[in-house]
Amino acid sequence: MKSGVLCPRCQKLIERGDYNETDIEVMKTLLELEESKFSVLRDVIYHKSYKADNMYVIVLSGNKLTPFILSKIAKKLSEKLEGKVRIIERTSSLRKMASQLLLPANVLGVNILWLPDGSWQSIVRVSRSDFKTLPAEKELLEEILTKLSGMEVRIRFE
């Protein structure tokens, strides 16, 4: 990654579509931050990045990630990538992922909506008063949550 030439394994991951140019751009920036100021990134595992419009959502995991450190890293990434950045800790809980993505909006809960054809959607319930505090448009956030979770996600205001 540092040299700009990928190893055969990483090249295959890109060719398969597991990673894309956004991931490479974010990984290079994370390496720069790790070397300059954020040595805590050495103990962090990078999973995936999603870019929609001018917003980057970066999925990481690691034991030393605190909300304070995540906010500092997100701010530096935002400056370098020239867009909004949200860092989300990898988890199997849709509620936790939605809470991290929609911050400062408050997630009231997550429900499952069963459709007549037997399929289902997850509904993330958000307070109606938090509509204006969302970090991006509702449709964009739904798209990102769907990619993050691997299931159809809708946001509903109550």
Q: Tens digit of pLDDT for each residue in 51-97? A: 877 888 999 887 777 778 888 888 988 988 888 898 888 888 889 99
Topology of domain 8-89 in CATH is GMP Synthetase; Chain A, domain 3 (3.30.300)
pLDDT reading at 45 higher than 80: yes
Distance in angstroms (rounded) separating the CA atoms of residues 66 and 84: 19
| Average pLDDT value for the chain | 86
pLDDT reading at 144 higher than 80: yes
Residue 110 has φ and ψ, to the nearest 5°, of -130, 130
pLDDT reading at 137 higher than 70: yes
User: Where in the chain are all domains bearing CATH 3.30.300.20?
Assistant: 8-89, 94-157
- What pLDDT is attached to residue 1? 64
Whole-model pTM: value is: 0.81
Q: Does domain 94-157 correspond to CATH entry 3.30.300.20? A: yes
Task: Give the DSSP H/E element, type plus range, for residue 47.
Answer: strand 45-52
